[in-house]
Amino acid sequence: MAAEGVLTISEGMAKFQERVSRSVFLDDVAPSVTLATIITALGQFGKVLNARMLDCPLSPKLGPKRALVEMATQREAERAIKEIQEHPFIMMKGILRPVIARAAEASLYPERPSKIRKTLPDNGDRKNADIGRKPTFCWVNRGDPDWDFVCKQKQLAKKHVMECQYLMQELKKEEEKLSKEQEERAASFLDKFALVDACLRDKIVKQLVEVSD
C-alpha cells in the first residue's frame, strides 16, 4: 500500500494519461500569435485549464510556434480537434490563421512520468527514484576507431542546422507576407461595411430606390 501523499507508478501514469487525453496539440501556429490569443481561440470549444507554448524543434527562434492546450474534458478536446481539422483556420486577433490540430501525445510532455520511475513527494526520499536504463556517453579522441564517423556526423549536423535556419527564415517571410495581406483585406472589408452602414443610416439607399422607380 502506498504511503500517504505518494502515488504508485500505475496511479501516476493513469493520471497523466487522462490529462493527455483531454489535451490538444496545435502545430504550425504563426509566430505573431500569443498564448493569450490561443487560450481565447480554444475557449470557444470549452473551458481551457492550462496552455503552454512549445519551441519549434528545427529553429526555436524563427520557426512556427506549437502549443499544448489542456481542456476540461476529453469531449471538449475532441470537439476542438474535429472542428479545426474540418476548417483548418482559427480566428486569431480577428483574422483567420492556418493551424494544424491533433490529439496530444505523451512524448510532448517533458515532465511525463516514466513507467520505471517512482513518483515521490517533493520532500520525499529520492534514493532509488530512477530505476532502469540510463544514457551514457564518452569523449571520442583523435585516433579512436569512431573518430572519422563522429566527424562526419558533426559536419552533417552543422549542414542540417544551416539548412533549417534558411528554411525557417523563408517560412517567416511567408508568414509575415500572409499576415500583412490578411490585415489589409480585413481593413478593406471593414471600410466596405462602414460605407454600407453609412448609406443605410443616411437613407441614401432608400433615395436611390425612389429615383430608380
Please write the tens of the pLDDT for every residue from 128-162: 344 344 567 788 888 888 899 999 999 998 998 88
Model confidence at 65: pLDDT above 50: yes
Residue 56 in grid coordinates: 519549434
For cell 443616411, the residue is 202
Task: Give the pLDDT score at 209.
Answer: 67
CB 137 within 8 A of CB 128: no
Model confidence at 121: pLDDT above 60: no
3-state helix, strand, coil in the chain (%, to 5): 50, 15, 35
**What's the pLDDT tens digit per position in 31-61?**
777 888 889 888 989 999 999 988 776 666 6
**What's the pLDDT tens digit per position in 168-210?**
788 778 777 877 887 788 788 888 888 888 877 777 666 766 7
Model confidence at 117: pLDDT above 60: no
Rounded to an integer, the average pLDDT of 9-15 is 73
Alpha-carbon gap, residue 101 to 85, rounded angstroms: 6
Alpha-carbon gap, residue 64 to 168, rounded angstroms: 8
Task: Give the pLDDT score at 123.
Answer: 46
CB 38 within 8 A of CB 26: yes
Model confidence at 82: pLDDT above 80: yes
Which residue blocks in the chain are alpha helix, DSSP H?
A: 9-21, 35-42, 74-86, 147-201, 204-212
Alpha-carbon gap, residue 41 to 5, rounded angstroms: 36
Rounded to an integer, the average pLDDT of 24-32 is 82
The model's confidence at residue 75, banded by pLDDT at 50, 70 and 90, is very high
Selected residue with higher pLDDT from 136 and 68? 68
pTM over 0.75: no
Task: Give the pLDDT score at 152.
Answer: 93
Task: Give the pLDDT score at 135.
Answer: 60
The model's confidence at residue 11, banded by pLDDT at 50, 70 and 90, is confident
Alpha-carbon gap, residue 161 to 174, rounded angstroms: 20
